[in-house]
């Protein structure tokens, strides 16, 4: 089973982020693979291990530093990587990225495209769906379990509104994963050393046959008009006294101040 995994390098959101003059302060930031994408890599590795044949190819569109994310995926065990590196992609939104990815994937052979259900930085969750549309492929989002995988077919559990939907899917397809699907493995030192020797292809826009007017700033369909710090959380309120007293106080607040039942 040949699997493409789409990965995105994102800012490590565990660090303190600061916004200045409408832009993120990039100084001192750390970059990691978006955590859902790590789940997707793990899922791909497990699928190939289970099926017993095939390979895992990682793809990212991103700046120079994004190669670190690819290398990490290779160290986890992926077989090869493609880095689409072109400043023409600067300022892309999900739509423009999906268009670029579709262009690259048009000419490739694969059984399955895996991705995280959303990226840790934008939380948009749009790219896999748009890509599926561009490629004319079926898509399942938010999967939490893989029951069966074989030539041309998969059975998946998707977390839906009213419980887990069990879905039979014909391949090739685009599948996005929920992070409860698995616990991504840590790269071993040996994996890191082997990653050095695995093929990593760097391609610019021309190499993927892309059109500069359809990606980056000119290809985007949405526009961010300003960037603001999230509002600071207000301090909590502490209730003291007996259980009876405090529950009265809480109910009073919920009814009269928060007016949640109004």
Partner 1 sequence: MDFTLTAEQKAICDNVAETCGKFSDAYWLGKDTTGDFPIEFHQAMAKGGWLGITMPDEYGGSNLGLLEAALMMHQVARSSGAMSAASAIHINLFGPHPIVKFGTDDQKKRWLPELIHGETKVCFGVTESNAGLETTAIETSAVKTGSRYYVNGAKVWTSTAQQANKIMLLARTKPKEDCLNRIEGLSLFYTNLDRDYVDIRLIDKMGRKAVDSNELFIGDLPVPEEDLLGEEGKGFQYLLHSLNPERILVGVEAIGIGQNAIARASQYAQERVVFGRPIGQNQAIQHPLAESWMELEAAFLIAMQAASLYDRKEPCGLKANAAKYLGGEAGFKACTQSLMTFGGMGYAKEFHVERLLREVLICRIAPVSPQMILNYIAEKALGLPKSY
Residues that bind partner 1 (CB under 8 A): 32, 67-68, 71-72, 75, 186-190, 192-193, 195-196
Q: How far is the CB of 262 from partner 1 (least distance, A)?
A: 34
d(C-alpha 40, C-alpha 106), whole Å: 21
Compute φ and ψ for 157, nearest 5 degrees: -105, 125
Please identify, using beta-carbon distances, which residue of 47 and 195 lies nearer to partner 1: 195
What is the nearest approach in angstroms of partner 1 to the Cβ of residue 67?
7
Within the chain, where are the H helices?
35-51, 66-76, 94-106, 127-135, 189-195, 216-219, 243-252
Per DSSP, the three-state class of 60 is strand
Q: How far is the CB of 83 from partner 1 (least distance, A)?
A: 12
Our CB check for partner 1 shows the closer of 75 and 115 to be 75
Q: Is 142 helix (H, G, I), strand (E, B) or coil?
A: strand
CA 71 to CA 186: how far, in whole Å?
Answer: 13
Which residue, 8 or 220, has its beta carbon nearer to partner 1? 8
Minimum Å gap between C-beta 45 and partner 1 is 16
| Cα–Cα distance, 83 to 201 (Å, whole number) | 6
Nearer to partner 1, 164 or 188 (CB): 188
Cβ-contact 92, 69 below 8 angstroms: no
What is the nearest approach in angstroms of partner 1 to the Cβ of residue 35?
11
**Closer CB to partner 1, 153 or 196, in the complex:** 196
**Spatial CA neighbour of 83 closest among 3, 8, 1:** 8
């Amino acid at each position: 089973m040949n699997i493409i995994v789409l990965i995105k390098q994102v800012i490590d959101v565990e660090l303190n982020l600061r916004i200045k003059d409408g832009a993120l302060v990039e100084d001192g930031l750390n970059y990691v693979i978006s955590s859902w994408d790590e789940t997707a890599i793990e899922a791909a590795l497990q699928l190939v291990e289970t099926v017993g044949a095939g390979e895992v190819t990682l793809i990212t569109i991103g700046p120079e530093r994004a190669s670190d994310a690819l290398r990490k995926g290779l160290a986890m065990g992926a077989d090869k990587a493609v880095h689409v590196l072109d400043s023409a992609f600067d300022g892309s939104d999900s739509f423009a990225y999906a268009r670029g990815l579709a262009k690259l994937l048009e000419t490739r052979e694969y059984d399955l495209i895996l991705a995280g259900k959303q990226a840790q930085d934008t939380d948009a969750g749009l790219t896999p769906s748009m890509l599926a549309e561009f490629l004319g492929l079926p898509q399942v989002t938010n999967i939490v379990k893989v029951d069966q995988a074989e030539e041309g077919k998969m059975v998946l559990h998707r977390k839906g509104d009213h419980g887990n939907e069990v879905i039979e899917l014909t391949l090739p397809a685009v599948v996005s994963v929920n992070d409860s699907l698995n616990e991504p493995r840590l790269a071993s030192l040996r994996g890191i050393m082997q990653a050095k020797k695995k093929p990593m292809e760097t391609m610019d826009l021309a190499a993927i046959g892309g059109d500069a007017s359809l990606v980056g700033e000119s290809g985007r369909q949405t526009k961010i008009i300003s960037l603001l710090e999230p509002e600071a959380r207000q301090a909590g309120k502490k209730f003291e006294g007996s259980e009876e007293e405090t529950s009265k106080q809480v109910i009073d607040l919920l009814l009269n101040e928060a007016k949640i039942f109004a």
